[in-house]
Each structure stands twice: as C-alpha cells, then as structure tokens.
Structure 1
C-alpha cells in the first residue's frame, strides 16, 4: 500500500496530461518494482522485459549485464513481422559498455544483435563460441547436459525438460560468470549445479501426475510449440500421446496447432476456457484447415474438465497426456488438476 500511495499521484497526473493516456498496469507495477528495489531490499535484481525490449518499460536501467536467450515469432503486431525486426527490438536492451550474453540464435538475428553490441562497445558473450552445451538429452524425467565456458566445465541435471531449456540454463550460467567477473568474486560452481538441479518452473513441461502421466506446458507461440513437438518426438515415443489444447486465436493459432500435429502417434483435442477480456479462441470452426494441411484429425470438446476425464480413461501406463496452449489456460488447468489430485 505504501508503494501504491507513492505512485498514485504521479499516475493520476499522467492520466490527465498525456494525450495518449496514462501508464498501463504493467508500467505502473514496473515503476513500483523499481521504487521498491531502489530502497535496497535485494542484493541482486533480475529484471525480465515485458515485451520485446527496446520500448519496454523495464528498459530504463543500466544493468551489470544483459541476456537474450532466443528470437522467435511472437507479438508480431508490436515487434515486427520478421525475425530480424524482432531481434532489433530485443537488442534494444543492450546498454553502452555492458556485456550481453546471447543464446542459441540463428546467424541472421545474431548479426543484428552483434551490430547493436558493437555500436554500444558491449562485449558479446556468444553461445557456441564462448560457452557450449554438449551431451544434451532427457533421462528419467531430467534434462542432462554438460556445460563448458569461462575456463570451467560442469555436468548439470535439470527438471526443466527440452534441449532449449539446457540452452537457456547455459545462458543463465554464463550470466552468472559475467556477474562474478564484474564483482571480482570467484564463481561457486557447485552452488550453480545445485541451483539448476533445484529449479522448478510451474507450467513448463510440468508433470502433474504419474498414473496416468499428465503433463502441462504453456507453449503459447510457434517457437515453443516446435520445441515441445521435438521433445515429444525424441524422448516420449513409446506410447500414444494425447494432446489437449486451448489456444488464443490471435496467437498464430493455426500454426501452433499444426506444429503439435507433427507429434508422432498423437491424438489432438481442442477445448475452451474462460478467456480474459473475452479473447477469441481457436475453435471448432478453424479445425478443417489444420486437418487439411497436416492430414490429421482434430477433435473438439468445449469443456476441458470433461475432456481431461475422457482422455485419461483411454490411457494406459505407456501413454502421456499433454495439456498445452495459452498460459491463461494452463494456469486454470493447473489449479483444477492440483485440487483434483488432492481429492483422490
């Protein structure tokens, strides 16, 4: 409440004076966050941009280091229609003389980022050149990989599954090494190994139950859908894979569903939920085009709770049920499933 009272008169003034209107909810919360941390309540602050980078409300600080994990198609109506345009927006977080760690990014987009880093005299710490990930695979519901960089090597295991998650972890590890160099301290690699091992992320290929195996993942854009499709095809091919999806229609919905249709031995069902602000969902009327393009049958069940019950009844011990799509949907489903698990 103290922070609300602090920002309220500023917000009120901007609401009445700016022709384009006052700050958004996210911008207000961001301002409150910076005010809170400016009071000295944390030793280190990790700030994630809300959208893109260049014009994001978080992009008003000069950090110790910056990081860009990947470039993909998302929020194109704001960030641009090409990957290079999106890369330029994300590269907007690079500050003069501040190092930037970049993940496994395609050459064209890496060039955009590298040019921005050069203009800002910023060190570019690059995946594949300055640090590497090898022996990257899934075993016993753990992502196992070796990291090498900054003169150090270590083996890691993580509950965050998928090749891309190991790449993301490698960016975080490298960011930690850059931070240690800035602070003049020695890296505590054993602590990093433990930290990666203990990291949990709700809604990221999270196993909710074992009997039957039910997993939820908030793959809400095309790059995420591709990663999940690849993970399922390479690591979970023993039984049938049932996929229950609810995708917002403004999120390249047809492309997302088409990516999930590439999963081998998959049966896809689309469903609905109470969307925020009544946003439109990819629904039964849009299924025909996906079926024609991918040569698969896509079912529709308007009630996700009924759909879950029916799909689970069809499963055996080798099968897997993936519930995916909108992050709003995953949040609602996760709460429902955890409450259901408590009752049985």
Structure 2
C-alpha cells in the first residue's frame, strides 16, 4: 500500500459522518489488545483553545527533556501532523503501517457486529492509540478530543490529567442547544480521582462541572478561582497556590492565549506535585513564551500584512476581534471569510463586521463548505463583495491588513498554498 492509497482509504470514511459513541472504538481496540492502556495520557477537551493548550504543554514537557506524542485536529499543513512526536508529524511510512494494522479491524467491525462502520475520526484515533501504545513509546501523549467528550472517540483511555479549556455553543446539533447541555457532554472527560484543570465562564455550567467533580472525588482546578491570571501590558502574571510566575510574555497574541497558557501551566504544576513529572520552572516558562500554533493569528505576509486565524465559532471570533482591535487599532482591515455548515453564521459575521473596513466572502473545496452566496446574504457591511478565486484575491491584495478567517479547513487550504509557494 502506498501513502496516498492509505490516505484515500482514511478519507473515504468521511462519508460515514459523525457518529457519537465509544462502542465501536472499544470493540476495535479490544481486538488490538487495548494499546490505549499503555500510554501516559493527558486528555484535553473544550470548545476553543484545545490546540494551543496542547502545544503549550507539549513544548514545556519537551524543554524538560520528555518525549511527547500529540493527537490534534484538524490538520493545518499536512495530514501526518495529527499524530506527532515532539511537534514533528510522523513519517509517511508509519501512516501506511498504521493503516495496514487498523484496516482489517475496521472491516471486521462491519462484518461481525451490528455497530456500523467506523468513521474517519475513529480510524485516525485508533491509529494514534496503536502508534503510541504499540509502535512508538513516548513519555506522555496529549490527546485532543474531537467533538465534546462523553461520546468522543478519544474518551476510551484512563488519563493522568484532564483539561477543559472552554465551553461554548458549537456543534449544537450534536452536543445540545444550551451551554448546560454542552457542559454535561464535556464533563465526560472527568474520571474518578483524576484532576481537572478548567475554565468555564457560565455559572450554571460551572456548577454542573463542580457537581460531577465531587461525584468522582476528583480535584477541580479552576481559572479565576484557583488559578489567577493577571494581564500586564502584553505580559501576564500567573498565580496558583504557592506558585507565582511574573512577566510571562507569550509569542501568541490575545488574552485568550494567556488563559490557555495558564491552564497548561496549572496542569503541569499538578503533574509535578503528583510525582508524574519532574519540571524545571524556568524551562517551562521559556517554553511557554516560545510556543506557537499554526492558524492562530498567524502572520503569513508582512507587506501587505496578511493574517490568518481559524475563528470557527462565536467565542473564537470574539477573541479574534478583541485581539485584532487591541493590536491594530488604527489600521484599515479587509476581511476575507469562509465557513462550513452548522456554524452560527449571522453572529460570527456581525462580530467581524465591527472591525472590517471591507468584508469579502468566498467558498473553498471542502464537502461541508458553505456556498459564498449563502454567506454573502448574512453580511450587512456596506462594503461587501463575493470572491470567486480566494488565492488570486490574496495574492493581488494591496491594502493595509488582510484578515483571512473562518473555518480551520479554509485556513488550512490557504496555509498549504503559501507553503507550496515557498518551496
């Protein structure tokens, strides 16, 4: 089997959609002798901030001499980055080897049970567990959930630490229409006796999380209660228990990144306190300051300034608007926006209009991408237009700042084009 044949087989699973539940995963993993039981896993869930938080933790552990596997989604530049070791995507040959292991098991699932066909995300999750649990041992594996927690295909292992980055109204058709519904699903990450580091701004949701923590005799470490983050002119101060770190200056912009980094620091402190990791705090903070994550307020070009950001729901758009408004208060901003189905389109567009001098919409080659005409109908900006060829539009742009945002899949396409140009 070639690498491309393996990828094609994986991506064919996309047609089976999203099927919440872990029974298929449990059946397949048992056939593979439960490799998920062999990892030192940290489980990260949340509506926004998962990828950045994973990256902060991974980099800090790397700086302290540990090898770290990560599982993230979606990919921005190459499929292989979804399963990475110390920030480096695994080789093509390993992808092929993994497909050859999991393909027969997924076929057996379909032939021998009434559980249905494994989805694309389940296949990739299984590949990750096989890789780190059987083929390539690492000190830690940081696992980013795909959708929710309770019924997510990643929720089949016993973690040593759990992190809940945020709760927001996303994937409501699957997770529920209210913040409480979504909190109930994401509380599925909580395991008996395992600490949860979390940030939940909604009072009702927060109360529910505390209830589940109490039922599971699990320690809750909460931002703005146990963890104090104090912003100071681009830097921030972190306090948790007896720990007090001053003058932390991140490479990634925005208050939300300071919050994500604070969650990561608290989780690492807790691992250290529990004897699960031995950490040098200076190395940890240096790693935090150096951490970057593709597609998050990332500058692709300087003249003119081209910024990409995968703000794919209301909360992410709010964070983007606040950060851009703070960093570029007197600049002329042109927005190029695209989105996929199932997103709160009207409110996302409305928030972005507040910082836009011109608002352009487009579409892109992805099964769930919305037609640009549908997006355009939601835009009320007086200076709005539809863009047929977004690559040509970006390359011909001669204004002040071009902000390319919306779906992470859209951002991924833009990033891959830029990478190909630079080769």
The answer to whether TM tops 0.5 is: yes
Contact 1:250 1:280 in 2 (8 A): no
Q: Give runs of aligned pairs for residues 104-119 of structure 1, distance below 5 A.
A: 104-119=200-215
Does 1:333 find its partner at 2:414? Answer: yes
Structure 1 residue aligned with 2:310: 218
- Unmatched tracts of structure 2, length 5 or more: 1-95
Q: State which of 179, 195, 202 in structure 1 corresponds to 2:287.
A: 195
User: Equivalent residue for 1:302?
Assistant: 388
Tell me: higher relative CO, structure 1 or 2? Use CA pairs within 8 A at least 6 residues apart: 2
CA RMSD of aligned residues (A): 2.0
Taking structure 2 as the reference length, what is the TM-score of the superposition? 0.73
Alignment match of 1:178 (pick from 263, 270, 275): 270
CA 1:152–1:324: 2 relative to 1, 3 Å: same
- Number of aligned residue pairs: give it: 326
- Asked if the contact 1:161–1:205 (Cα under 8 Å) also holds between the matched residues in 2, the reply is yes
- Aligned-pair distance for 1:168? 0.6
Aligned residue number for residue 37 of structure 2: none
Partner of residue 23 from structure 1, selected from 107, 118, 138? 118
> Given the alignment of the two structures, is residue 287 of structure 1 paired with residue 383 of structure 2, yes or no?
no
Structure 1 residue 210: deviation in Å?
1.4
- Structure 1 gaps of 5+ residues are 139-143
Query: What does residue 23 of structure 2 align with?
Result: none
Residues 150 and 177 of structure 1 are in contact (CA less than 8 Å); yes or no, is this contact kept in structure 2? no
What's the TM-score once normalised by structure 1's chain length? 0.88
Give the 5 Å matches for 1:1-344: 1-39=96-134, 41-138=137-234, 144-154=235-245, 155-183=247-275, 187-263=279-355, 266-275=357-366, 277=367, 279-291=368-380, 296-310=382-396, 312-313=397-398, 315=399, 319-340=400-421, 342=422
Whole-angstrom distance in 2 between the partners of 1:290 and 1:19: 46
> What SS is found at the alignment partner of 1:132?
strand
In structure 1, what is the Cα distance between the partners aligned to 2:226 and 2:335?
38
Distance in 1 between residues matched to 2:111 and 2:193, nearest whole Å: 38
SS at match of 1:122: coil
1: distance between equivalents of 2:420 and 2:102?
37
Task: Give the Cα–Cα distance (whole angstroms) in 1 for the partners of residues 277 and 140 of structure 2.
Answer: 14
Q: Secondary structure at the match of 2:307?
A: strand
54-63 or 104-113, which moves further after superposition? Answer: 104-113
- Pick closer, same or farther for the CA change 1:327–1:212 going to 2, 3 Å: same
Q: Deviations over 1:19-41 (max 9, x none)?
A: 34122122122222222222361
Deviations 1:16-73 (A, max 9, x none): 2333412212212222222222236111111111110001111111111101010111
